[in-house]
Amino acid sequence: MLNVKNLKAKIDGKEILKGLNIEVKPGEVHAIMGPNGSGKSTLSNVLAGRDNYDATDGTVMFEGKDLLTLLPEDRAREGIFLAFQYPVEIPGVSNLEFLKTSLECLHTYQKKPLLSAVEFMKLAREKCRLVDLDTGFLKRGVNEGFSGGEKKRNEIMQMLMLEPKLCLLDETDSGLDIDALKVVADGINQLRSPDRSFILITHYQRLLDYVQPDFVHVLADGKIIKSGGSELALELEEKGYSWLESGTEQSANPLKV
């Protein structure tokens, strides 16, 4: 599904990703862990096509398409979803209006029939219940006055609505209490299917207690320095990252920074 080869990327002229490789097959759940500043969020932003995140080298193929040449909105329409670390507010634009516009854009591109207003409302209410949001929230402005937990649940709600092929979750678990964390995990587990993949970017093992990853990667100084099964996450939780980083080449040592 996703094949990233030797990806290098810069922000404001500073190289953050320094030759990253990862392959994600349909149905797989990959967790990417790593210390602050290792490039985790940069990876998700580069994949989603955010302005000012310039890929300078390497290739990213998504379902046989060269992802880096696509506009951000077309990447979304191809089935890439990014759950934001800090979802922004759009005052005055209701969640309902936002979701409906989004879904229509996706379905038009994917040549799927558009939902009727009734079908759409039914779907939206159902997904709200799944993430434990009151349906009254649909009428509120996008993330307007939401608590941190509500914003994250809203991201998961959108993911459930849009049914993407590849879900990138950028530290969705950060700042959540245990109940909200379970809601987020439930959302992910519900969507897990043989033809849908996930990349969970996370700082902690916590989320992985509820979502069992197929692979765990450690990202440090813009490269993946170790990959393993879910047991690697536990090991990291116990030992931290430094034992891995001291083993990498001098040039890639983030502890010096």
- Considering the rule CB under 8 A, would residue 48 count as an interface residue with another protein? yes
Q: Which parts of 153-182 interact with another protein (CB under 8 A)?
A: 158, 162
Residue 58 touching another protein (CB under 8 A) = no
Residues 186 and 38: their CA atoms lie apart, in Å, by 28
Give the whole-angstrom CA distance, residue 69 versus residue 158: 25
- Contact between 102 and another protein by CB under 8 A: the answer reads yes
Instruction: Verify binding: residue 60, another protein, rule CB under 8 A.
Output: no
Q: Is 105 in the site for another protein (CB under 8 A)?
A: yes
CB atoms within 10 A of CB 2: 22
Which part of the chain contacts another protein (CB under 8 A), choosing from 16-24, 100-108, 213-221, 231-239? 100-108
* Neighbouring residues of 222: CB distance < 8 A, sequence distance ≥ 6: 8, 15, 16, 17, 18, 19, 20, 38, 39, 42, 252
- Binding another protein (rule: CB under 8 A), the pick from 141, 148, 149, 175 is 141
Total site size for another protein, rule CB under 8 A: 31
Among 77, 140, 217, 223, binds another protein (CB under 8 A): 77
Among 11, 93, 96, 234, binds another protein (CB under 8 A): 93
CB of 227 vs another protein, minimal distance in Å: 27
The site string for another protein over 194-213 (x = CB under 8 A, - otherwise) reads: --------------------
Stretch of 105-113, 119-127, 205-213, 240-248 lying at the interface with another protein (CB under 8 A):
105-113
180 token code pair: 């909200």
Nearer to another protein, 105 or 234 (CB): 105
90 makes contact with another protein (CB under 8 A): yes
Rounded least distance, CB 162 to another protein, Å: 7
Considering only 84, 146, 198, 241, the residue that binds another protein (CB under 8 A) is 84
- The residues binding another protein (CB under 8 A) are 48-52, 71-73, 76-77, 81-82, 84, 87-88, 90-94, 97-98, 101-102, 105-106, 109, 141-142, 158, 162
